[in-house]
Amino acid sequence: SASSLSIEEHRQEWIEKSVVYYSKVMREERQRNMRAASAAALDVVEEKDQDYQVLAKKHYFALQKIRTGKLQHAEHIYKRIINDLLEEAQDKDHACDHSKLAVTTLLLALLTQRMGASPKQTRSVFLKFFRLVSLDSDDEDAHIECACSAKVVGA
C-alpha cells in the first residue's frame, strides 16, 4: 500500500542520513586510515559502514517507539545499544572508536530530557559516557584526541 511504501521510504531515508552523520563523526580517523590505505584498511572502513547501518536501524526503531509514545521502551533500546557497544569494545583492540557510543549517548540524553528528567539526571547520561571513554583509554592523552568526545562535549 501507499502508506507502507511511505513508511519504508522514511525508514530508508533515516538510515541513509544516519550513516552519513556517523561517517562525519569519524571523518578524521577515516582520513588517517585512508592515508595509510591498504586493502585491509579499506575493508575496515567498509565493515564500519555496515556496523553504522545496523546501528541506524536500531536507532530508527527507538525513534518509532518515541513517536508512538513508548518512551520507556525507547530508553531501554538506547541503553541496550550502549551495553552491546561496551561489550563489543571489550572484544576489540582499538584506539578512538567511540562514535557509535557517542551518538547513542546523545540520543539517550535527548530522550531523558523529553521524559521530563531533571538536568542532573540528564547530565548523568553524559558523565557516564565520559567515564566509559576515560576507562577505555590506557593513554591519558588519548581522550583529548577523541573526536566523538568533542561532539558529546558540544552537546
The whole-model pTM stands at 0.63
> CA–CA distance from 65 to each of 75, 87, 111, 135, 144 (Å)?
9, 24, 11, 32, 35
Grade residue 126 by pLDDT with cuts at 50, 70 and 90: confident
Indicate the number of domains in the chain.
1
pLDDT reading at 140 higher than 60: no
11 grid coordinates = 525508514
Q: Report which listed range, 2-11, 63-72, 140-149, is most confident.
A: 63-72
Per-chain mean pLDDT for the chain:
76
Spatial CA neighbour of 152 closest among 94, 110, 89 = 110
Q: What is the DSSP letter of 116?
A: T
- pLDDT tens sequence across 94-122: 545 677 888 888 889 889 988 998 889 88
Residue 134's domain comprises 2-154
pLDDT reading at 67 higher than 60: yes
In SS3 terms, 40-98 reads as HHHHHHHHHHHHHHHHHHHHHHHHHHHHCCCHHHHHHHHHHHHHHHHHHHHHCCCCCCC
Q: Is 155 helix (H, G, I), strand (E, B) or coil?
A: coil
Q: How far apart are CA 32 and CA 30, in angstroms?
A: 5
